[in-house]
Amino acid sequence: MRIAMEDLKLDMLYVIYPGNRSFALDDKIQALPLTDVRKVN
């Protein structure tokens, strides 16, 4: 994930997972539950 962030020059990376709580994986990597992601049209 850190290599991808460097290669893509990302400031923040979000990992979507099927759990039910948000938590930090690193300073700039955040895990978000799928239920928090909303469909955008």
Q: What pLDDT, on a 0 to 100 scale, did the predictor assign at position 36?
A: 87
pLDDT at 31: 95
SS (H, E, C) the chain: CHHHHHHHCCCCEEEEECCCCCEEEECCEEEEEHHHCCCCC
What lies within 8 Å, CB to CB, of 16 at 6+ separation is 32, 33, 34, 37
| pLDDT confidence of residue 37 | 84
pLDDT at 27: 95
The residue written with tokens 């049209």 in the block is: 41
Tens-binned pLDDT, residue by residue, of the chain (41 aa): 999 999 999 999 999 999 999 999 999 999 999 988 876 55
